C-alpha cells in the first residue's frame, strides 16, 4: 500500500516547486513589464541641451543640381578598381585625381584648405577652422571599388554610370563614390558661400580600402600620428537607414555603427603524394578538405547575440517595435536566446548573432584522370564583437578536427572597440542631431557594422569612431549593393545638395545631403526657398551626407 503521509509530502513538495516557479515567472514578467513601460524613447541618446535655431538653407539651382548629377556619373565611369594589394588600377586613380580637381576647383584653390597626396593616390585635406584650439574631427571615404565583370549579369555595364528606370548604375554608386562626391561637393559649396567652420576638420579619401587600406588609410594615420593629431571623432561609411529590414519596427531607423566586426581569412589545405585515377586511395585531398569545409558549414559559431553593440541597438529601438516585440526587445537580458534563434534563420540578421563563416574559394586538381595531390579552400570569417581572433581560430581547429588539414591565417584582426554613444558622446550626438534636423520622427540608435572599413586603422587617433552611410535600404536592396547592379535611385529633377548652416547655435552644423525627389517629404522641417522638386526625397535610395563642424566643446553632457 502507498503511504498516505509520503503521498502528502510529495504533493506538498510539488506545490512548493510549482509555487516557486510561478513566483519566479511572475517576478520576471513584472520586472520585464516595468522595464518596457519605463523605457525612455531616447534612452542614452538625449541631446544634452542642444540649442534650437533657425537653419539657413542654401538650395542649389537646377544647373548646379544637374552638374552634381553629372559629376557622380563621371566618377563612376573611372574604373578605380582594386584587384589586390599589389594590383591596383593606378592609371584610373591618377585620372580620378585630375577629375576631382576639375570638379571641385574651389576646394583645391582655397587658402582655407590644405591638400596633400598620401602614398601617391590617397587624399588628405585639412580644412582650417577659425578657432584652432578646438579639437578636429575627421570624415572618411574611399575612391576605389571592387572588380566587376561585364559577364556578371549586370543590367547595364558596371562602369557606364547610366541611368535606367530611375536608377544610376555602376560600381561605386553606393560604395563609396557617393560619399566621396558628397563630402567634396559640400566642402566646395560652403567655401563658395564664404562659410568658415569654427572647428577645423580633416577629410581622408583612401585609394585601397577594398584591399584593406594598408597603403592609403594606414599612411594617412602615420602622417597624423607624426604630427601629433588627436581626433575628436571619426565618421566613415558603414551602417545605414533601414526601412522594412527589421520586421515589426514602426518606421525606418538610422543606425550609427559604434563598432565593426573583426575579420579573418583562413587557408585550409591538404597535401598527399600524387596518384592516378586508375588506382585511387581510400581518401583524396579533395574529399578530406570537402569534409572539413562541410563540418565548418554545419557547425556555425556559437550565438553571441546581446553581448555586443547589437544589444544596445535593439534596446534603443525597443519602443518602436509593435507588441509583443517591444516587450521582448526591452528585455534582452531575458529573451536574448529566443531572439538569437529567430534571427539566425535569416542570412541578413544572422550576421548580428555570431561570427559568420563563408567558404569563398576551393581549388584542386589539374587533370580529370589525376588524383589531386593538393587541395586548398579559403574561408572568410567576420568576427563578432564578443569574440577574439584567437578564440575563433581555436573553434575552427576544434571543428575541423583533422590533423591532415593545415590551417593558416592569411590575415586577421580583432573586432573594433565599442565607441561611446551616451548623452556625453559629442560625435554620436551631433550625427544623431543632424539626422533629426532633417527627419524629426526618425528613430536613431547605435548599431554594429558587419563589414570592415578604413576607420579601423584610426583607433589610435580617436576612441570615438562612427560608421554611417546615409542611404536608405529596403528589403531586396542588399542584392543591388553586394552582388551585381550596384545602383542608386535618383530623379534628375531632384538631385541636389542641401547645405544647412546653424550659425546662431552654440554649434555650427553643416549638413550636406544628396537626395532625389520621389516620395519622402521632409516636413515638418522647413527649408527656405525650397522648390517642389527638392522638398522630397527617395525613401528607398537616399544619399544623405551628414558632415558637421562645431563651435564649442562638450562638457558633462552640455554644449558650453
Instruction: Supply the residues annotated as catalytic.
Output: 144, 209
Cell of 194: 564664404
Contacts of 421 (CB under 8 A, 6+ apart): 44, 45, 256, 258, 312, 428, 446
DSSP 324-368: THHHHHTTHHHHHHHHHHHHTTSHHHHTTTS-EEEEEEEEE-SST
Cell of 226: 607624426
For residues 557 and 371, give the distance between their C-alpha atoms in angstroms, rounded to a whole number: 68
The secondary element (H helix, E strand) that includes residue 73 is helix 62-77
Q: Which residue is it, cell 573586432? A: 415
Cell of 471: 542611404
Task: Give the β-pairing of 253-260 and 443-449.
Answer: parallel
Contacts of 13 (CB under 8 A, 6+ apart): none
Query: How many CB atoms lie under 10 A from the CB of residue 342?
Result: 14
Cα atoms found within 13 Å of the Cα of residue 245, Cβ hemisphere only: 20
Cell of 484: 551585381
Phi, psi of 177 (to 5 degrees): -70, -25
Q: Could you give the C-alpha distances from 5 to 1, 2, 10, 78, 100, in angstroms and in order?
A: 12, 9, 9, 89, 91
Cell of 188: 566646395
Q: Following CA atoms 76, 80, 83, 87 in sequence, which dihedral angle do they give, to the nearest 10 degrees? A: 170
Query: How many CB atoms lie under 10 A from the CB of residue 27?
Result: 10
Phi, psi of 190 (to 5 degrees): -70, -35
Coil vs helix vs strand at 395: helix
Q: Which residue is it, cell 522648390? A: 531
Q: Which of 425, 389, 393, 61 is nearest to 235 (CA)?
A: 425
Query: How many CB atoms lie under 10 A from the CB of residue 464?
Result: 18
Q: Are 218 and 142 in contact (CB under 8 A)?
A: no
Q: Which residue is it, cell 563612376? A: 76
352 cis-preceded (ω within 30 degrees of 0): no
For residues 87 and 102, give the distance between their C-alpha atoms in angstroms, rounded to a whole number: 27
For residues 486 and 498, give the distance between their C-alpha atoms in angstroms, rounded to a whole number: 24
Query: How many CB atoms lie under 10 A from the CB of residue 281?
Result: 11
Cell of 421: 554613444
Amino acid at each position: 500500500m502507498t503511504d498516505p503521509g509520503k503521498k502528502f509530502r510529495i504533493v506538498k513538495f510539488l506545490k512548493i516547486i510549482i509555487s516557486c516557479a510561478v513566483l519566479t515567472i511572475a517576478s520576471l514578467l513584472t520586472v520585464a513589464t516595468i522595464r518596457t513601460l519605463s523605457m525612455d524613447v531616447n534612452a542614452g541618446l538625449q541631446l544634452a541641451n542642444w540649442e534650437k535655431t533657425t537653419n539657413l538653407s542654401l538650395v542649389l539651382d537646377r544647373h548646379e543640381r544637374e552638374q552634381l548629377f553629372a559629376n557622380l556619373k563621371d566618377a563612376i565611369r573611372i574604373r578605380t578598381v582594386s584587384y589586390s594589394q599589389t594590383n591596383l588600377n593606378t592609371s584610373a586613380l591618377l585620372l580620378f585625381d585630375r577629375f576631382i580637381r576639375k570638379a571641385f576647383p574651389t576646394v583645391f584653390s582655397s587658402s582655407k584648405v590644405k591638400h596633400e597626396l598620401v602614398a601617391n593616390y590617397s587624399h588628405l585635406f585639412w580644412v582650417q577652422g577659425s578657432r584652432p584650439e578646438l579639437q578636429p574631427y575627421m570624415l572618411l571615404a574611399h575612391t576605389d571599388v571592387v572588380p566587376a565583370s561585364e559577364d556578371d549579369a549586370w543590367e547595364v555595364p558596371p562602369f557606364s554610370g547610366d541611368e535606367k528606370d530611375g536608377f544610376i548604375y555602376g560600381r561605386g554608386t553606393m560604395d563609396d563614390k557617393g560619399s566621396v562626391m558628397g563630402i567634396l561637393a559640400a566642402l566646395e559649396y560652403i567655401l563658395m558661400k564664404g562659410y568658415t567652420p569654427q572647428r577645423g576638420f580633416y577629410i581622408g579619401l583612401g585609394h585601397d580600402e577594398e584591399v584593406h587600406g594598408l597603403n592609403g588609410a594606414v599612411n594617412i594615420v602615420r602622417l597624423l600620428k607624426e604630427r601629433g593629431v588627436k581626433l575628436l571623432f571619426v565618421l566613415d561609411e558603414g551602417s545605414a537607414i533601414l526601412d522594412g529590414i527589421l520586421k515589426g519596427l514602426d518606421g525606418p531607423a538610422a543606425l550609427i555603427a559604434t563598432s565593426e566586426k573583426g575579420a579573418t581569412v583562413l587557408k585550409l589545405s591538404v597535401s598527399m603524394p600524387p596518384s592516378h585515377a586508375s588506382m585511387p586511395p581510400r581518401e583524396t585531398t579533395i574529399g578530406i578538405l570537402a569534409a572539413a569545409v562541410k563540418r565548418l558549414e554545419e557547425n556555425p559559431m556559437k550565438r553571441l547575440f546581446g553581448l555586443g553593440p547589437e544589444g544596445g541597438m535593439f534596446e534603443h529601438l525597443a519602443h518602436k517595435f509593435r507588441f509583443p516585440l517591444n516587450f521582448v526587445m526591452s528585455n534582452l537580458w531575458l529573451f536574448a536566446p529566443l531572439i538569437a534563434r529567430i534571427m539566425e534563420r535569416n542570412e541578413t540578421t544572422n550576421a548580428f548573432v555570431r561570427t559568420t563563416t563563408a567558404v569563398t574559394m576551393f581549388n584542386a586538381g589539374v587533370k580529370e584522370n589525376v588524383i589531386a595531390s593538393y587541395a586548398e579552400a579559403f574561408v572568410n570569417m567576420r568576427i563578432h564583437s564578443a569574440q577574439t581572433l584567437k578564440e575563433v581560430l581555436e573553434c575552427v581547429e576544434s571543428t575541423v578536427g583533422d590533423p591532415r588539414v593545415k590551417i593558416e591565417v592569411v590575415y586577421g584582426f580583432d573586432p573594433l572597440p565599442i565607441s561611446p554613444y551616451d548623452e556625453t558622446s559629442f560625435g554620436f550626438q551631433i550625427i544623431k542631431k543632424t539626422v533629426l534636423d532633417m527627419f524629426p520622427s526618425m528613430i536613431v540608435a547605435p548599431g554594429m557594422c558587419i563589414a570592415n572599413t578604413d576607420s579601423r586603422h584610426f583607433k589610435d587617433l580617436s576612441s570615438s569612431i562612427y560608421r554611417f552611410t546615409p542611404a536608405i535600404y529596403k528589403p531586396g536592396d542588399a542584392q543591388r549593393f553586394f552582388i551585381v547592379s550596384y545602383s542608386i535611385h535618383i530623379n534628375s529633377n531632384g538631385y541636389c545638395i542641401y547645405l544647412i548652416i546653424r550659425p546662431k547655435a552654440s554649434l555650427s552644423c553643416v549638413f550636406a545631403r544628396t537626395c532625389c525627389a520621389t516620395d519622402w517629404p521632409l516636413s515638418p522641417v522647413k527649408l527656405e526657398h525650397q522648390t517642389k522638386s527638392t522638398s522630397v526625397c527617395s525613401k528607398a535610395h537616399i544619399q544623405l551626407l551628414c558632415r558637421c563642424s562645431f563651435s564649442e566643446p562638450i562638457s558633462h553632457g552640455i554644449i558650453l
